[in-house]
C-alpha cells in the first residue's frame, strides 16, 4: 500500500494552519502574528536536565492561579493555548460522531484541531457587529460537545457582550462545554470570565503567555476550568508537556515583577494602537477601522489599493483576512513599536498619493 493509502483520509484532506513562520515573506516589520515586537530578557536558572520535568510544574501552576484569582486545581498548563484547544477535543469529542461549534470570522485552530481528530466542524457565522447569533447557535447544538468563542475575537478585535455569553452558558448548560478563548484578555482584563467558573461547571477559559506576556517563542498556555474538567484534561495531556527551561521562564514571567512588566507593555501597545487607529482612519485607501480591545487592528481597504502586496514588497508583513467570511479586503495589523506603526502609515500614505496621481492622469 502507498503512504497515502495508509494515511487517514481526514489527514490527507487537511489544510494545515498557516502559522507565523510558515507564511513566509521577507520582512523587517513583522505585524502578522500578534507577537510583541521586542524580545523580553530572562536568565535560565541551573536545573537538573538529566531528570524528567513535572507534568504540571507547581511553581507555574501556583503563580498562574494567583494571577487569575483561582485555585491551583482550576489551572492546567500546556504547550501554548493551542494545545489546550486540542486537549478539549481529545477529552470531549468522539471522532466521527460529535461536533464542535464556532463562529467565523474567528481564530483558525478550532477548525484545524477538530479536522485532525475527524470531529465535525459546525459553524454559525457571527452577526454583522460580530456578536453571537444566539438563535442560530440554539438551533445548531445537536451533537455539539464544545462551543468555542473568542473574546476579544481574533481577527476582529471585539469583545463578546457579557449578556450574550451568559445567554450562551444558559443555553448550553447540561448539553455542551463553552470554551472562552481569552488569549488577548490582558488588553481588557475587566472582561475576563474567570469569576464565572463558580456558576458554570461547563465553562472553560483559554489563556496564553504568547501575547501580552511577549513569550510566543516559549510555547506556554493555560486552561482554566473547574477541577473535574482539569482532571479529565490531565488524562489526555502528554506526560511532559513543558520542558524545564520553559517552566523556569514561565515562572519568572508570572512573578510580581514579570506581571508589572507585562502591564507596562500592555499600556504602551494600547497607546500605539490608538495612534495607529487614528492614523489609519485618515488614509484614503482605508475604508474602515474596526474598534479593538487587543494588540491588533482590523481594517478594510479600498479593493484596488493593493495594500497587502505593496507593504509585503516593502518588508512590512501584515495578515490578509480576505478569505474569512465577511472580511473581504480586510487586513489585520499587529500593533508593533511606534516606529513600526509609523512605517505602516508612511507606506499607506504613499499608496494614497500614487492613487491620486493616477486619478489625475485619467482622461477627462
Ligand X SMILES: *Cc1c(COP(=O)(O)O)cnc(C)c1O
- Smallest separation, CB 224 to ligand X (Å): 13
- The residue within the footprint of ligand X, chosen from 37, 80, 157, 241 (CB under 6 A), is 80
- CB nearer to ligand X: give 33 or 261: 33
Q: How far is the CB of 154 from ligand X (least distance, A)?
A: 4
Looking up cell 488524562, which residue turns up? 235
Binding mask 298-327 for ligand X (x = CB under 6 A): ------------------------------
- Smallest distance, ligand X to C-beta of residue 193, A: 14
Among 183, 279, 330, 341, which residue sits at the site for ligand X (rule: CB under 6 A)? 183
DSSP state of 50: T
Helix spans in the chain (H) = 3-6, 9-13, 58-68, 80-92, 109-116, 134-139, 162-172, 227-236, 244-253, 256-281, 307-313, 338-361
Separation CA 25–CA 20 (nearest Å): 10
What's the maximum distance between 2 C-alpha atoms anywhere in the chain?
A: 78
Closest to ligand X by CB, 81 vs 344, is: 81
- Pick the closer one to ligand X by CB: 223 or 272: 223
Site for ligand X in 245-284 (CB under 6 A): none
- Site pattern 194..233 for ligand X (x: CB under 6 A): --------------x-x-----x----x------------
Assigned C-alpha cell, 268:
504602551
Of 250 and 285, CB closest to ligand X? 250
Q: Is 81 in the site for ligand X (CB under 6 A)?
A: yes
154 binds ligand X (CB under 6 A): yes
Q: In what helix (H) or strand (E) does residue 178 lie, and over which residues does it extend?
A: strand 177-181
Residue least distant from ligand X (Cβ): 80
**Of the candidates 65, 74, 82, 203, which one interacts with ligand X according to CB under 6 A?**
82
For residue 139, the tally of other CB atoms under 10 A from its CB is 10
Q: How far is the CB of 76 from ligand X (least distance, A)?
A: 13
Pairing relation of β-strands 75-78 and 319-320? unpaired
Q: How far is CA 64 from CA 97, 159, 345, 358, in A?
A: 35, 23, 38, 56
Instruction: Give the residue, chosen from 65, 89, 119, 150, that forms a contact with ligand X under the rule CB under 6 A.
Output: 150
The answer to whether residue 181 forms part of the interface with ligand X (CB under 6 A) is yes
Do strands 319-320 and 330-334 pair parallel, antiparallel, or not at all (unpaired)?
A: antiparallel
How many amino acids of this chain bind ligand X (CB under 6 A)? 13
Asked if 112 is part of the footprint of ligand X (rule: CB under 6 A), the reply reads: no
Closest CA to 295 of 213, 224, 173, 233: 213
Tell me the window of 77-85, 115-123, 225-233, 254-262 that interacts with ligand X (CB under 6 A): 77-85
Stretch that binds ligand X, among 21-29, 78-86, 141-149, 270-278 (CB under 6 A): 78-86
What minimum distance in Å lies between the beta carbon of 214 and ligand X? Answer: 12
303 burial class (0-12, 13-18, 19+ CB within 10 angstroms)?
exposed
Distant-in-sequence, close-in-space partners of 15: CB < 8 Å, separation ≥ 6:
112
Is there a contact between 336 and 29 (Cβ–Cβ < 8 Å)?
yes
Q: Strands 296-301 and 330-334, how do they pair?
A: antiparallel
CB of 181 to ligand X, least distance (A): 5
| Nearest distance from C-beta of residue 332 to ligand X, angstroms | 10
Interface residue list for ligand X (CB under 6 A): 34, 80-82, 107, 150, 154, 181, 183, 208, 210, 216, 221
Amino acid at each position: 500500500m502507498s503512504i497515502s493509502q495508509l494515511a487517514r483520509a481526514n489527514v490527507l484532506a487537511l489544510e494545515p494552519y498557516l502559522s507565523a513562520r510558515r507564511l513566509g515573506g521577507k520582512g523587517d516589520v513583522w505585524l502578522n502574528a500578534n507577537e510583541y515586537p521586542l524580545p523580553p530578557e530572562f536568565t535560565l536558572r541551573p536545573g537538573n536536565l538529566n531528570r524528567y520535568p513535572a507534568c504540571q510544574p507547581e511553581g507555574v501552576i501556583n503563580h498562574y492561579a494567583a494571577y487569575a484569582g483561582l485555585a491551583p486545581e482550576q489551572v492546567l498548563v500546556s504547550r501554548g493555548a493551542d494545545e489546550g484547544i486540542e486537549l478539549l477535543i481529545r477529552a470531549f469529542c468522539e471522532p466521527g460522531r460529535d461536533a464542535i461549534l464556532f463562529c467565523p470570522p474567528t481564530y483558525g485552530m478550532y477548525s484545524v484541531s477538530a479536522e485532525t481528530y475527524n470531529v465535525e466542524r459546525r459553524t454559525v457565522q457571527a452577526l454583522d457587529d460580530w456578536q453571537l447569533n444566539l438563535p442560530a447557535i440554539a438551533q445548531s447544538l445537536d451533537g455539539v460537545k464544545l462551543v468555542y468563542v473568542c473574546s476579544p475575537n481574533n481577527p476582529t478585535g471585539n469583545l463578546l457582550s457579557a449578556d450574550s455569553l451568559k445567554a450562551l452558558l444558559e443555553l448550553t448548560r447540561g448539553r455542551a462545554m463553552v470554551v472562552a478563548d481569552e488569549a488577548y484578555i490582558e488588553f481588557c482584563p475587566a472582561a475576563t470570565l474567570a469569576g464565572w467558573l463558580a456558576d458554570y461547571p461547563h465553562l472553560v477559559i483559554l489563556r496564553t503567555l504568547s501575547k501580552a506576556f511577549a513569550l510566543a517563542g516559549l510555547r506556554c498556555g493555560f486552561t482554566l476550568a473547574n477541577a473535574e474538567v482539569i482532571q479529565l484534561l490531565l488524562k489526555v495531556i502528554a506526560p511532559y508537556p513543558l520542558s524545564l527551561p520553559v517552566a523556569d521562564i514561565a515562572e519568572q514571567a508570572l512573578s510580581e515583577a514579570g506581571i508589572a512588566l507585562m502591564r507596562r507593555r500592555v499600556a504602551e501597545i494600547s497607546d500605539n494602537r490608538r495612534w495607529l487607529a487614528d492614523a489609519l482612519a485618515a488614509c484614503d485607501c482605508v475604508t474602515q477601522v474596526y474598534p479593538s480591545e487587543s494588540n491588533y487592528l482590523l481594517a478594510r481597504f479600498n479593493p484596488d489599493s493593493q495594500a497587502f502586496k505593496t507593504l509585503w514588497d516593502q518588508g512590512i508583513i501584515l495578515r490578509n483576512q480576505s478569505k474569512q467570511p465577511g472580511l473581504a479586503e480586510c487586513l489585520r495589523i499587529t500593533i508593533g513599536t511606534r516606529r513600526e506603526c509609523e512605517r505602516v502609515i508612511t507606506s499607506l500614505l504613499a499608496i494614497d498619493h500614487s492613487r491620486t496621481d493616477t486619478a489625475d492622469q485619467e482622461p477627462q
